[in-house]
């Protein structure tokens, strides 16, 4: 196209504790879509804790600079050679899964999230903290009309990985689910549980009083601090925190045979010593399980978009202009959260 676009880039590994502006604003050429790719004009991009993991080096991009952002909603403006799935003007979304090889045992078995060739949007390929981005058309998703651009953005990661986490718990209607941490993913999981498992109770463990109040507003049966004792044990717990302490507390609050699902790309090292307090009899005995979540598949994204449209499940969002991406990330680091943070272009 020969035009320039505004973008925010990661050009160095930095600690948000020391850096007030970890992302740098730049102008770059608008990308040209390659073979099988679609170019989209970005309308909105969700802000995720994984961006903090990238910036601070826990899951560093393989090359710098890179444009972060993997909850992208926009409209098709051009198709590359061989790409014809979406017409110009179609509204599409891009999630964490940018591409996978499609030929390995994991991909052929329906587990493309575990592919050794998995490429992540905004880490291994330029993402959506920009006015334009190109994506393989096979990894773009139609966005249902019921959602605004900003509402659709968090569904693509916070919602989709939360949906994968919920399925991995094996929860049945009437059982109790615990949510440790209550940010973008937690609030969407709570809404999904209330629709899909109407007889189930949800207990929320959150460090912030504002998050606990928000959880009660959305229908949590109980909300307390991470170390508080809930009204009863949980059949399953999903942990979305960056810390280790909540993992130990969650195991303590599981029923016999219960499962803890850890929904995080990486854990920070700030409280690793808490793992030394893990007591086999109190925390793991009686066939308790720990399972991690690794990435998402395209099916996870599409299933959750369909479910959300049918409910409809509308995320709570806080909007920021692209130029204030650093502010949104700083507030995320400081746990100043109510729902999901979204950049508007």
pLDDT for position 147: 97
- Comparing C-alpha atoms, which of 339, 300, 307, 293 is closest to residue 165? 293
pLDDT at position 1 over 60: no
The percentage of the chain sitting over the pLDDT mark of 70, rounded to a whole number, equals 99
Residue 2: per-residue pLDDT: 66
Q: How many helices (H) and strands (E) does the chain have?
A: 9, 17
Q: Which residue has the tokens 């998050």?
A: 211
pLDDT tens profile 238-283: 999 999 999 999 999 999 999 999 999 899 888 889 888 889 998 9
Cα 295 from Cα 171, distance rounded (Å): 20
58-63 — which CB contacts under 8 Å span 24+ positions? Answer: 58/265, 58/266, 58/268, 59/123, 59/265, 59/266, 60/13, 61/10, 61/123, 61/124, 62/123, 62/124
All structural domains of the chain with their residue ranges: 4-155+295-344, 160-292
Question: Residue 320: CA atoms inside 13 Å, Cβ hemisphere, count?
Answer: 19
Instruction: Give the mean model confidence (pLDDT) for residues 4-11.
Output: 98
Confidence of residue 21 (pLDDT cuts 50, 70, 90): confident
In Å, the largest CA–CA distance within the chain is: 64
Question: Secondary structure of the chain: what % helix, strand, coil (to 5)?
Answer: 30, 25, 45
The CATH number of the domain covering residues in 4-155+295-344: 3.90.180.10
Q: Is 160-292 the same fold as 4-155+295-344?
A: no
What distances in angstroms separate CA 218 from CA 159, 230, 315, one per listed residue? 16, 18, 11
Are 123 and 68 in contact by the 8 Å Cβ rule? The answer is yes
Is the pLDDT at 105 greater than 60? The verdict is: yes
Angle between helices 160-169 and 184-196 (to 10 degrees): 50
What confidence tens digit (pLDDT) does each residue in 207-234 have?
Answer: 999 999 999 999 999 999 999 999 999 9
pLDDT in tens, 60-92: 999 999 999 999 999 999 999 999 999 999 999
The mean per-residue pLDDT over the stretch 331-343 comes to 91
Phi/psi of residue 179, each to 5°? Answer: -120, 115
User: Could you tell me which CATH number the domain at 160-292 has?
Assistant: 3.40.50.720
Task: Give the residue among 230, 183, 229 at the shortest CA–CA distance from 202.
Answer: 230
Beta strands in the chain (DSSP E): 4-10, 23-29, 37-47, 72-79, 91-94, 97-99, 119-120, 132-136, 140-142, 177-180, 202-205, 222-224, 234-239, 254-262, 289-292, 317-321, 340-344
State yes or no: pLDDT of 54 exceeds 70: yes
């Amino acid at each position: 196209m020969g035009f320039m676009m505004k973008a925010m880039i990661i050009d160095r590994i930095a600690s948000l504790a020391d850096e007030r502006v970890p992302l740098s604003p730049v102008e770059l050429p608008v990308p040209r879509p390659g073979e099988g790719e679609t170019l989209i004009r970005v309308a909105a991009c969700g802000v995720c804790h994984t961006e903090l993991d990238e910036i601070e080096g826990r899951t560093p991009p393989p090359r710098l600079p890179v444009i972060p952002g993997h909850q992208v909603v926009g409209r098709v403006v051009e198709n590359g050679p061989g790409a014809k799935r979406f017409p110009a003007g179609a509204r599409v979304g891009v999630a964490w899964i940018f591409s996978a090889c499609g030929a390995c045992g994991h991909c052929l078995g329906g587990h493309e999230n575990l592919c050794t060739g998995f490429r992540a949007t905004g880490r291994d390929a330029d993402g959506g903290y920009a006015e334009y981005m190109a994506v393989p058309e096979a990894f773009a998703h139609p966005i249902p009309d019921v959602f605004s651009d900003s509402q659709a953005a968090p569904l693509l990661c916070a919602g989709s990985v939360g949906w994968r986490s919920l399925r991995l718990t094996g929860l049945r209607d009437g059982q109790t689910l615990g949510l440790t941490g209550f940010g973008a993913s937690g609030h969407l999981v709570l809404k999904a549980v209330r629709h899909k498992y109407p007889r189930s109770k949800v207990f929320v463990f959150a460090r912030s009083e504002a998050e606990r109040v928000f959880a009660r507003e959305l229908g949590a049966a109980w909300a307390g601090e991470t170390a508080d004792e809930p009204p009863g044990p949980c059949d399953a717990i999903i942990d979305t925190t960056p810390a280790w302490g909540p993992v130990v507390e969650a195991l303590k609050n599981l029923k016999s045979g219960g499962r803890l699902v850890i929904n995080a790309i990486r854990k920070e090292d700030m409280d690793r010593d808490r793992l030394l307090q893990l007591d086999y009899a109190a925390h793991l005995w009686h066939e308790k399980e720990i399972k991690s979540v690794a990435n998402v598949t395209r099916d996870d994204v599409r299933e959750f978009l369909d479910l959300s449209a049918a409910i409809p499940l509308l995320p709570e969002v806080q909007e920021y202009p692209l130029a204030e991406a650093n502010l949104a990330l700083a507030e995320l680091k400081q746990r100043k959260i109510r729902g999901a943070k979204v950049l508007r272009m």
